[in-house]
Amino acid sequence: MLNKYARGFFTRVLTPFAAMLLRWGVSPDAVTLIGTAGSVAGALVFFPRGEFFWGTITITLFIFSDLVDGNMARQAGRSSKWGAFLDSTLDRVADAAIFGGLAMWYAGKGDNNVLCAVAMFCLASGQVVSYTKARGESLGFPVNVSGLVERAERLVISLVAAGFAGLHKFGVPYIEWLLPVALWVVAVGSLVTVAQRMLTVRRESAELEAAGAVKGGE
């Protein structure tokens, strides 16, 4: 849902900024690399120290590069398979840093092994969600399902909750509980999404085999 509606809105908003970067001679790949580096730094510098508000602000500023680089490539007529590969690969790196940073907090001063495990599960399941679709498509299946929680949903739920939870340090009471709730929601949603994609590939595989059997019988 977020990919369908929010991405289109922010793409239109960021188009002038993308055009300006092109005029300055900045390449889409450079924006991708800088955005990933900033997101990783924000997650691994702030989150393990419990600075969720400032970590979220930093990550959010850089994560919009995921929309800017593709916009730049389209405007310049330089969309390529390499750019798509680089963008997708570095997205996984940024995701791992975000949930890894949260896991480090709960493994350290956050002192909660259960939530550390949940954060690690979010990290792993997010990678598997992406893998199931990529692997299915590489085998020739359309994988016609998005699933309950895709990357956009995982990031929005986790970062919004982390940002608000960080307000606890500014004196807002009880709000720190938003982050544990969000992690559980993302964990369960990711598990459901993996199951949805696996069942979809299983169905598509069975349909393809059945079609082949019918054709062979003719």
The whole-angstrom separation of Cα 208 and Cα 200 is 12
91 contacts 66 by C-beta, under 8 angstroms: yes
The whole-angstrom separation of Cα 87 and Cα 70 is 9
Known active-site residue 91: yes
The whole-angstrom separation of Cα 62 and Cα 97 is 13
144 contacts 200 by C-beta, under 8 angstroms: yes
Pick from 90, 87, 63: which is nearest to 158 by CA?
63
Catalytic residue (one of 69, 91, 95, 111): 91
For the chain, first and last CA: distance in Å? 42
The whole-angstrom separation of Cα 194 and Cα 133 is 9
Q: Which pair of tokens denotes residue 15?
A: 């188009």
Would you name the residues annotated as active-site residues? 91
